[in-house]
Every structure is written in structure tokens, then in C-alpha cells.
Structure 1
């Protein structure tokens, strides 16, 4: 019997600010699970706790209550267990594409030559062949995100958490990167949790969508995406998908109006 790749069990989290007299409750005994190989998106208005969840899963924050499990095992220290890709690519400007990509392997103790050899074998697959000696400032936004995604994948983690990775890209580049991401997901078999505020992006990419609404988040609405794979962007014109899109946007607007 397969265990969930990720399971949140009654997670609560609060934060404090100097100008607020009491802690702000963001997550209130939230439970959810992600199955192996799934592509799941989380959508919600700004400030609804999506990025807080990202930080909890990756180990950058710790829950006040509850437990987080990976493949059935409780993980108190999660740093390094999850491949993650934040909104900003966080590439080191003084490192080349190759030098940026090998960083997770170096942190795992790989010698530089062995790490570089492993990365070189993946450059073509990620559309980076011929760019290995370029620095980040000489790359387009889409290319930078490819390097960031390669770095997440090469960490060896089976779960990848992507926090609005394409939000800073122009519309055409963003669509290209979405299509490319689906190709990579199909090829490498990872489990992806994708955080976004873009309903159309979530519908195009996901098996399931989990919708965050008002804080504190105690439960999430789950939407199954009734699209076969492989997908084309034109599939979003399907009448059922348009109905789901309208309903999601309506729900999100209601949530935003309470802020």
C-alpha cells in the first residue's frame, strides 16, 4: 500500500508582528495529503497562507502544533528533504549556470568534478546545453527558472515544492515554461506541489487544485481537474474547464473581499 508522499496532520501556525498585540493564526489544525506522482496546485488570494505552507513543508518554519510526514515518516527536520523553487530563482550571480546547478550536490558532499559530470548529463534535457558557462545576468527569465528547477530536481528529492515560480515572467514565456514543466514532470516522475494565485495556470498544470480562502485556514476546497494528459493550452477552452475556472475565480474574489 502506497503511503502519501506528503501528509500534514492537524497543522497550526501563528506569527507575531510588533504592531499587532496578539499572534495571527494562519493555519488552524489543517490536514491534507499529496499522493506520489501527483501534480497538485494550491491557489488562493495574496496573504491567504500559501507561502506560509511552503515554508513549513520545506522546513524553513516549524508548526506550532501538528506533524508533517514524508512517505509515512514524521519529519521534524525537513531541510534538505524537499526540493524547492521559490518565487525568485536565487541564483548566485558570481556562479555560472553549471556552478549554480551543482550546488545541491556539493552540499550533499559530492566532489566538484563528480557533481559537474552529473549536471552536464542533464543540461540538454533542461534546455541549458551550451549555456553552462554563462552567468545569471546573461540569461533570460525563463532560462534562469530552468536552472532553478534543475537545481531543485538534482537535489534527489521526490517531492518538489514550487512557490509561484513563473509569476515574474511575461505571458508568452510563462506559457512556454508551463508546457516545459509538464514535460519535465512527465519525464522525471516527481511529485509536485505548485503554489500559485493564477487559476488558469493551476487548471492547466494540475491533477488536483486545493483552494485557500480566509485565514485561518482550517480546511481546503478540493477540485479535480477533468483533463486528460498530455495537455495543450487549448484544452482550457473546454466548457467544463471554463465552468470550473469561473467558479474558482468567484470563490477567490469572495475570499479577497473579506481582507
Structure 2
């Protein structure tokens, strides 16, 4: 049970949603955009979040898109992980979504919520990082299109009144050879000790990670090391680990040394499988 009252509205346009946000913000309601709602509900129940205004963006048509538009796969932010798992338009994304939470939860968790949430793992972002996805952001002036790499820096960098509307991925990327692997402490669907998503594009490995550091990431320096054919495979992987954007995480799920061991073996297996293909 959520221990506080709040106003709820389900606008049907970007302009209406942002107008309501600005009005409620001025009134001190600390409004929140709501998509799947799993994280908001959980944090509210634990008294880790408070708001007097919820703006449900599922009523905005673009948020519910899941279709091919010429050579682009367009995914609305309100599309659930279960929907993405089922359609197989982007097999790597479907594979990653299949390992996030249980099926009942995946029917509620949305791609937008997973990308923009506060939980540090946010695994659904990994295929989008290696695919160089474009994010369509709802703003005061309409819709702006930006590279995912220009918006993702540990967390999604949006102004308070802005929200993720939809995602676009080039068709060609969705057809490339891919690998997705996840290692957890116990359960198949638990939080990752290490989760990776990778594609093989024009002889190079593009790879993104979750569970290794305190945020999901894809690193140009890591990929440069992995694709450096002048080095032995072991040296390439060791150099890549040294280029991680922060120290490998240590928590109750796994030690830093165990995580390094796991990620080393996953990168080794990924490269060997791509190079054998």
C-alpha cells in the first residue's frame, strides 16, 4: 500500500503532459511521470519516493508504438519487456528482456521505465547501447532526437519536465550476430553479477555491461582494447578490464575479484564465438 495520497492524470499528448508537469511542479507536488510504474510503486511503498502528482504517459500514442517505420524499429517507452520478448523484432533485445525479473513483472516493466529508472542494473539499455539507438525525447518544443550516448551518463540526463517518448534502432543492427549472457548469484532472473550484450559488426565486437560497475555502460576504450588484433586474446581482455569506467563493484552478491573472473570469461567466450563464426 502506498502511504500517501496523490493526484493522477493520463494525458493524451506531449504538450498536455508537460503542461501538467510544470503546473504541478510550481504547486510543489513533486510530479512524477509514470509508465509501467513498478519502480515508483515499490519506492513509494518503502517511503523512498514521495509525490503528490502522477502523470501516466501511456495515453500518448507515440509511447505505445512498436513497429517498423521503413528501416527503423520504433519502440515506444510504454512498451513492456514482455512485448519486446515476444515479438523478436530485435533478437538481442528480446533475449536480454527475457532475463529481467519474472514473466509477471516483465508484463508491467516498460522499456522506458527500465532505461530511466533508479535501479543501477537497467539491463534493457545494453542492446540499445551497442545498437547506437536514437532516443526521442519529449520537450517543451516538441520532440528532439538524440544519440543514446549523448543522454546516458551513468543515468539518463533529462530535464525534470522532459520524458523518453520512443526509441529508434536501425534495421541493419537488429540482424547482426549477437550474444547475451547473464550470471547471477542464485536465480536465473536475479540481479546480475555480470550481464553483457554484444554484437559483431564488420569484424569488431561491440559490447555493453551491467552489474560490473555501479551503472550500465559501453566504453569506446574497452572496445578498442578488445578489438586490438596486435595483442593476444588474454592481453586484449586484461587491457579491456583496466579500461572500465570505474572500479569493479563489490557487494553482497559477489566480490570484485569474482566479478572480474566472470567478466573475463564472458568476454573470452564472446570473442572466441564471434571469431569462429
Task: Tell me if TM exceeds 0.5.
Answer: no
User: Which one has more relative contact order, counting CA pairs under 8 Å at least 6 apart?
Assistant: 1
TM-score, with length taken from structure 2: 0.28
